[in-house]
Amino acid sequence: MIQRPQRIYLVFFLLLFMGTAALIAFLLGTAYVEKQHQAEVNARNVVAVLEARLEATLRRTQANLEELAQRTPLPALSLAARPQYAAAMQRQLALPARHFPEIVGLRLIDAEGNVLYASDRLLPQANVRDRSYFIALSQHPQLSLFFSEVTTGRINRSLQLYMAVPIRTPQGAFAGIAMAPLDIGYFQQLFDGVDLGPHGVITFRRSDDGRLVLRHPARPGTVNQTLHNNPMHQRVEAGEQQGVIRFYAAIDHIERIYAFKRVGDFPFYVAAGIASDDFLAQWHATLLGTVVVSLLSLVLLAWLLQRLRRSEERRLHASGELQASEDRFQQLFNSVGEGICGMDGQGRYLFSNPAARHLLGHADEAALHAQDLPGLIHGQQADGRPLPPADCLIRQAVQQGQTVHEADDVFTRADGSLLAVRYDAYPLLKDGKNVGTVLLFQDIGERKRQQQQIAFLAHHDALTGLPNRILAEDRFCQLTGLAQRHEERLAMLFLDLDGFKTINDSLGHDVGDEMLQAVAQRLQSLLREHDTACRLGGDEFLLLLPGIRGMGGVEGLALLIGRILHGLEQPFVLQHHQLSTSASIGVALYPDDGGDFTTLMKKADTAMYHAKDAGRNTYRLFDERMNVEAQQVLRLRSHFMAALEAGQFVLHYQPQVRLEDGRVLGVEALVRWQDGAQLIAPAEFIPMAESSGLIVPLGEWVLREACRQAVQWQQEHDSPLCVAVNISAVQFKRGNLEHTVAEALAHSGLPPQLLELELTETTLLHQTEAVLHTLSRLSELGVRLAIDDFGTGYSSLAYLKRLSVNKLKIDQSFIRHLAEDADDGNIVCAIIEMARKLQLQTLAEGVESQQIAELLRQMGCEQAQGYHFARPLTAAQLHAYLQAQRAGRPS
């Protein structure tokens, strides 16, 4: 599709082209007509001159011949009289023949055709009876003049045209002829003097039959040729005396303009033809030149127009781009979130974008015009005091043409409120000259608030708002600096809530969070003004108490700690729950126990564990022995890891017996650490393994090994033996228990119903939905579940119903004194009864005597485990034990 500017150029170009072509055509046409007219005039002029000359020549010759005919005495016209008249007639003939060069000679011929007298040399006995003029004139008495065809003269062999007049007697009888041969060469010379161009032609013809007398230039074989269908001759034949005609000559196929004219009343006409190519040669050259120049001009014009069009297109494109750029700029200017204001060299308002007016609260832009902008928006400081004009960086930028980069300050809004901004000021340039200032600013109020928030969160605990460990360390440095200067002591208290996990797990995290917030508030209320309470995470707090010496040393500190412990003991009311808690506190002193934050915190932490061990809700001051113990624990931990990797753990198996018949139904797998010759009991490393998380890989190994061993027994003894494995609460929390169990079963090939997992009540109490889910998935696997140490925790009956538990293992603390303690008996009876109703199996742990075994059997307990039947045995020992039992003998 042609674009509009291109179309305009095309139309313009075509109009110009047509106009130029029309003008050239007109000029060339005019020139053509002019040339043709000129040629006609030339031809006419030539013909007129030639006709005049020819007519004069013929007329003169005719007059001479007629005079000769009249003067010639008739008697002289006989052969007989010739001698008599020869001399006189010779003189008479000689005179005119001498004066007229066109005449070859004059001759007198008698009625028999004998040439009697001649002005020139005469052939002897010449007779012209056969000549056309003699025949015509002798036979046609009415003829008074006759011209012959062009003939070659018999004497001088030149071309001649015989002109003859008759001599008649007074009675009209034919007596002879006076004749003059006209020299064609004479006429030829006449024609030769005329220049009609390279292809010009002059013809001299008879008007009756068109026979050619003379042609210039001569063309051999054409003389005496008649004409047929020649348009010029047709016009002569039609009686035209003279005229002009243009046609192609049949003889040479050249187009000419011919002017023709009859020669007086003689039977001749003369024609001058100028070839079109000759008279138009210049016109053709002009035409060619004009066409070439025109074409070149047109090409040049087209090129120029093309360039013009391109340049116009470029201009339009550039102008479009400029407009688009302008629009983009305007759009950007209007939509940018940053405020932009312009002012002149005196700081007077010039322009602003919508964001600037919005941020500054000026709805009406017209009201801003010519106002002093620095004074209007930058007249106040952040605290509300006036900003002296000398301190206004914007005014300085305006006055001194300076640039301001990223200055943070406040601007005054239209309603007088302050707006926190970051602004830049740049000189406003026009043609390289500074004509004012552009101010760019953005609202940084929100950013500032966020930065403050981030800064706060970086140093505070998000939940309680208390300083965090980073700020605690910072405060510690400040306080120890002060303590150094005043030779004071500083106490660092590591406080851990007692039983917080139970509250969190049983009542939910919302209540737990509220509890922590309440504890934080209470701690702050219990502390002195210059004390610092921080939250380290979870239920751990760190308290920094300076000025210990001033408060009476450790005794004073003990009083303060006592107040804190007492204060925390007071119930909290949270979400309709009245909750009680307590705290265990470890204390480390600066500079007594260390000079740096980390050392003191570790020591306070260690001391806190001792407070926990001491029964909780109390505090312990750090002493070096604690450190030694802590070191031992650390060493044990790394030792344990190495042992796990080295495969130093073994399983012992304690039989579980059916009380009814003493038959071994299963075994409990109990892990031991074979540390060289020393066999370490689980009570010494399981707590550490649980606290360090190492119980997870250890538990996996126990499961795999127990399953493997159970399969081996199955193969050795043909009867199924259930293996019970203890599962720690940590394994529930951190390990992928279902996966581990499924893998152990799959790897060993043990049927799931021969694996029993022993879970403590505490595990079930602390875990909630997650535990239920895991248990139901384990139950789906087909493994059995037993609750270990039953009776020591707080299992609710609802729990037992919901869980797919198969067995309750009654804790050995109830069994040990069963025979003597009635309470224990009642408890055990109640457990057995409850289990029966819930269709759960019962197993009594720690059965050490036959008496107790019998009592339990009577109470309805189904199974028992204890030293009475067997201590935990190695695999080999158990193998022997089982064989012995099968054989009916005690091992």
Ligand X SMILES: Nc1nc2c(ncn2[C@@H]2O[C@H](COP(=O)(O)O[C@H]3[C@@H](O)[C@H](n4cnc5c(=O)[nH]c(N)nc54)O[C@@H]3COP(=O)(O)O)[C@@H](O)[C@H]2O)c(=O)[nH]1
Q: Which residue number, 109 or 843, has a Cβ lying nearer to ligand X?
A: 843
Contact residue for ligand X among 872, 873, 882, 885 (CB under 6 A): 872
Contact residue for ligand X among 464, 606, 654, 841 (CB under 6 A): 654
Minimum Å gap between C-beta 620 and ligand X is 27
Q: Which residue number, 683 or 798, has a Cβ lying nearer to ligand X?
A: 683
Q: Which residue number, 556 or 682, has a Cβ lying nearer to ligand X?
A: 682
Minimum Å gap between C-beta 671 and ligand X is 4
Contact residue for ligand X among 670, 750, 805, 852 (CB under 6 A): 670
Q: Which residue number, 412 or 728, has a Cβ lying nearer to ligand X?
A: 728
Q: Which stretch binds ligand X (CB under 6 A): 208-216, 542-550, 666-674, 821-829?
A: 666-674
Minimum Å gap between C-beta 640 and ligand X is 14
Cα–Cα distance, 409 to 433 (Å, whole number): 29
Contact residue for ligand X among 76, 440, 671, 710 (CB under 6 A): 671
- Binding to ligand X by residue 366, rule CB under 6 A? no
Minimum Å gap between C-beta 492 and ligand X is 35
Q: Which residue number, 273 or 866, has a Cβ lying nearer to ligand X?
A: 866
Q: Which stretch binds ligand X (CB under 6 A): 176-184, 433-441, 819-827, 863-871?
A: 863-871
Q: Which stretch binds ligand X (CB under 6 A): 328-336, 431-439, 775-783, 866-874?
A: 866-874
Minimum Å gap between C-beta 700 and ligand X is 11
Contact 608, 620 (CB under 8 A): yes
Integer angstrom CA distances of residue 165 from 66, 109, 111, 134, 144: 6, 10, 13, 10, 6
Q: Which residue number, 686 or 694, has a Cβ lying nearer to ligand X?
A: 686
> Total residues at the site for ligand X (CB under 6 A)?
21
Residue by residue, DSSP assigns 664-701 as: EEEEEEEEEEEETTEEE-HHHHHHHHHHHTTHHHHHHH
- Cα atoms in the Cβ-side hemisphere of radius 13 Å centred on 186: 14
Q: Which residue number, 183 or 845, has a Cβ lying nearer to ligand X?
A: 845
Residues 724 to 763 in contact with ligand X, rule: CB under 6 A? 726, 728
Task: Report angle CA 418, 421, 426 to the nearest 5 degrees.
Answer: 125
Q: Which residue number, 520 or 864, has a Cβ lying nearer to ligand X?
A: 864
Cα–Cα distance, 514 to 530 (Å, whole number): 25
Q: Which residue number, 436 or 866, has a Cβ lying nearer to ligand X?
A: 866
Minimum Å gap between C-beta 684 and ligand X is 9
Task: Report angle CA 112, 114, 117 to the nearest 5 degrees.
Answer: 135
- Binding to ligand X by residue 696, rule CB under 6 A? no
Contact residue for ligand X among 848, 857, 859, 875 (CB under 6 A): 848
Q: Which residue number, 498 or 789, has a Cβ lying nearer to ligand X?
A: 789
Q: What is the DSSP letter of 166?
A: E
Task: Of 160, 166, 164, 169, give the one whose Cα is nearest residue 188.
Answer: 160
- Binding to ligand X by residue 655, rule CB under 6 A? no
Cα–Cα distance, 689 to 679 (Å, whole number): 16
- Binding to ligand X by residue 791, rule CB under 6 A? no
Integer angstrom CA distances of residue 857 from 788, 832, 847, 852: 19, 11, 12, 8
Contact residue for ligand X among 299, 681, 880, 884 (CB under 6 A): 681
Minimum Å gap between C-beta 572 and ligand X is 34
Q: Which stretch binds ligand X (CB under 6 A): 97-105, 484-492, 715-723, 860-868?
A: 860-868
Integer angstrom CA distances of residue 407 from 5, 452, 565: 52, 18, 51
- Binding to ligand X by residue 846, rule CB under 6 A? yes
- Range 856-865 burial, b when 16+ CB lie within 10 A, else e: beebebbbbb
Q: Which residue number, 586 or 866, has a Cβ lying nearer to ligand X?
A: 866
Contact 382, 419 (CB under 8 A): no
Q: Which residue number, 607 or 671, has a Cβ lying nearer to ligand X?
A: 671
Residues paired with 649 in a beta bridge: 673
The 3-class SS string of 399-416 reads HHCCCEEEEEEEEECCCC
Q: Which residue number, 167 or 873, has a Cβ lying nearer to ligand X?
A: 873
Residue with tokens 């003097």: 193
Contact residue for ligand X among 845, 853, 873, 881 (CB under 6 A): 845
Long-range own/partner contacts, residues 160-163 (CB < 8 A, 24 or more apart): 160/104, 160/184, 161/213, 162/131, 162/132, 162/133, 163/58, 163/61, 163/62, 163/65
- Range 671-708 burial, b when 16+ CB lie within 10 A, else e: bbbeeeeeebebeebbebbbebebbbebbbbbbbbbbb
- Binding to ligand X by residue 177, rule CB under 6 A? no
Minimum Å gap between C-beta 672 and ligand X is 7
- Binding to ligand X by residue 273, rule CB under 6 A? no
Q: Which residue number, 583 or 847, has a Cβ lying nearer to ligand X?
A: 847
183 membership: H or E segment, kind and range: strand 174-183
Contact 640, 689 (CB under 8 A): yes
Minimum Å gap between C-beta 681 and ligand X is 5
- Binding to ligand X by residue 702, rule CB under 6 A? yes
Contact residue for ligand X among 409, 498, 789, 824 (CB under 6 A): 789
Q: Which residue number, 424 or 675, has a Cβ lying nearer to ligand X?
A: 675
Residue with tokens 């007692």: 498
Whether the link from the prior residue into 591 is cis, omega within 30° of 0, is yes
Q: Which residue is nearest to ligand X (CB)?
A: 866
Contact 348, 428 (CB under 8 A): no
- Binding to ligand X by residue 425, rule CB under 6 A? no
Contacts of 462 (CB under 8 A, 6+ apart): none
Residue 163, helix vs strand vs coil: strand
Contact residue for ligand X among 150, 177, 202, 686 (CB under 6 A): 686
Q: Name the token pair of 663.
A: 């038959």
Residues 43 to 82 in contact with ligand X, rule: CB under 6 A? none
Task: Of 882, 815, 821, give the one whose Cα is nearest residue 843.
Answer: 815
- Binding to ligand X by residue 867, rule CB under 6 A? yes
- Binding to ligand X by residue 866, rule CB under 6 A? yes
- Binding to ligand X by residue 520, rule CB under 6 A? no
509 CB neighbour count, 10 Å cutoff:
10
Under the rule (CB under 6 A), what is the footprint of ligand X? 654, 668, 670-671, 681-683, 686, 702, 726, 728, 788-789, 845-848, 865-867, 872
